[in-house]
């Protein structure tokens, strides 16, 4: 496989961080660059191989272990661009790489909700051919619909849907001119089927699914492959970081007692599901790597079969009545639905 250049959004944690580290450290040389990497906001201190010091500008980081006295080689462009909204969180990525900023990696500031930020990142990357764009930035929102504020709902759509749209718009024209490239979008099981107390999040992911399926049809003659990676529960900080009302807080006080009880039961279900069935990041990364390396990747890749029976039931029931009942029973526990539960 020839040297491949990849840009990934949402690399401050979780899947994005893991994928950037995995590609930058690729031992097969598929993502190898030359020289030094220009890392914005990260500075190394000589004599302290694993100590990373935040900086305010652009710092040349040699492609050797930090603390080395070797002279830097001529600068060239790296094949892995790891982007994140807050560069202060870039230390996590470099620490994952053992305190070394290799010549395969450049950390860029990119906020998918800010057109100016996207334009700056696109201008930086346009100096070389971008082969793979991974739209991974995303946020969650959980809780009874009555508790979701307009601002919280707008934020979810601004990041999950419009953020993906803006990112694709920024890099798609160059791929079209070359008539080559691939776009990988982090989606969710929640983009394929409704999940209780995730109405707004699922709505944003349903929209992403429609966006990508429609776009894939147009991109076919351009030799640009678009793949949705649909994840289930994954052991990341996503669940802990998503916005949701405190089950004992004031936000729920105006709700009816039955909805409050269902929400409490759903939270217990989530804890159990993540404890017993969540995938590790490394398992999910393998799906992304296959989407990057496969000559003709599919439109959809599901990372887990946990919800497969419910997915089949949703497709088999024309009016989705059986699915709604089965999902309710699966989450809230009122016995099996048709004997076909995950």
Residue 46's pLDDT is 32
Q: Which residue has the tokens 């830097």?
A: 72
Q: Can you give 227-286 as a three-state secondary structure string? A: EEEEECCECCCHHHHCECCCCCCHHHCCCCHHHHHHHHHHHHHHHHHHHHHCECHHHHHH
In the DSSP assignment, the letter for residue 89 is G
Q: What is the pTM of this model?
A: 0.83
- What is the pairing mode between strands 224-231 and 181-188? parallel
Taking the chain (342 residues) in runs of 10, the rounded mean pLDDT of each run is 85 95 77 38 34 32 31 52 93 82 86 96 88 96 95 97 98 96 97 96 98 98 98 86 79 90 94 92 96 95 92 90 94 59 40
Residue 146's pLDDT is 95
Residue 104's pLDDT is 85
Q: Which residue has the tokens 């029976």?
A: 309
Positive or negative torsion for Cα 148, 154, 157, 158: negative
Task: State how far the Cα of 52 lies from the Cα of 94, in Å rounded to an integer.
Answer: 8
Residue 27's pLDDT is 55
Q: Could you give the residue numbers annotated as active site?
A: 201
- DSSP H helical segments within the chain, as ranges? 14-24, 90-96, 115-125, 150-160, 162-178, 199-219, 238-241, 257-277, 281-293, 308-316, 321-332
In the DSSP assignment, the letter for residue 72 is P
Closest by Cα among 315, 290, 310 to 300 = 290
State how far the alpha carbon of 207 is from the alpha carbons of 55, 158, 162, 199, 226, in Å.
38, 12, 10, 12, 15
Write phi, then psi, for 318 (nearest 5 degrees): -55, -40
């Amino acid at each position: 496989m020839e040297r491949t250049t990849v840009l990934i959004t949402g690399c401050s944690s979780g899947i994005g961080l893991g994928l950037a580290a995995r590609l930058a450290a690729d031992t097969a040389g598929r993502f190898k660059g030359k020289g030094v990497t220009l890392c914005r906001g990260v500075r190394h201190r000589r004599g302290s191989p694993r100590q990373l010091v935040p900086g305010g500008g652009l710092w040349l980081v040699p492609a050797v272990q930090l603390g080395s006295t070797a002279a830097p080689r001529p600068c060239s462009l790296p094949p892995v661009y790891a982007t994140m909204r807050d560069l202060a969180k870039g230390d996590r990525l470099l620490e994952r790489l053992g305190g070394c900023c290799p010549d395969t990696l450049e950390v860029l500031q990119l906020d998918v909700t800010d057109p100016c930020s996207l334009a700056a990142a696109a201008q930086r990357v346009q100096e070389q051919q971008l082969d793979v764009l991974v739209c991974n930035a995303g946020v969650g929102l959980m809780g009874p619909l009555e508790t979701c504020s307009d601002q919280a709902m707008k934020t979810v759509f601004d990041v999950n849907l419009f953020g993906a749209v803006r990112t694709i718009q920024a890099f798609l024209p160059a791929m079209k001119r070359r008539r080559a490239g691939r776009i990988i979008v982090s989606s969710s099981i929640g983009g394929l089927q409704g999940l209780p107390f995730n109405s707004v999040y699922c709505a944003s992911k349903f929209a992403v699914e429609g966006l990508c399926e429609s776009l894939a049809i147009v991109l076919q003659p351009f030799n640009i492959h678009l793949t949705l990676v649909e994840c289930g529960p994954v052991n990341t900080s996503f669940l802990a970081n998503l916005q949701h009302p405190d089950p004992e807080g004031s936000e729920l006080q105006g709700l009816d007692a039955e909805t409050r009880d269902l929400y409490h039961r759903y939270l217990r279900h989530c804890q159990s599901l993540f404890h017993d069935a969540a995938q590790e990041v490394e398992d999910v990364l393998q799906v992304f790597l296959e989407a990057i390396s496969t000559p003709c990747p599919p439109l959809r890749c599901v990372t887990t079969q946990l919800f497969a029976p419910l997915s089949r039931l949703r497709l088999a029931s024309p009016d989705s009545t059986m699915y709604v009942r089965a999902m309710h029973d699966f989450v809230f526990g009122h016995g099996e639905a048709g004997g076909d539960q995950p």
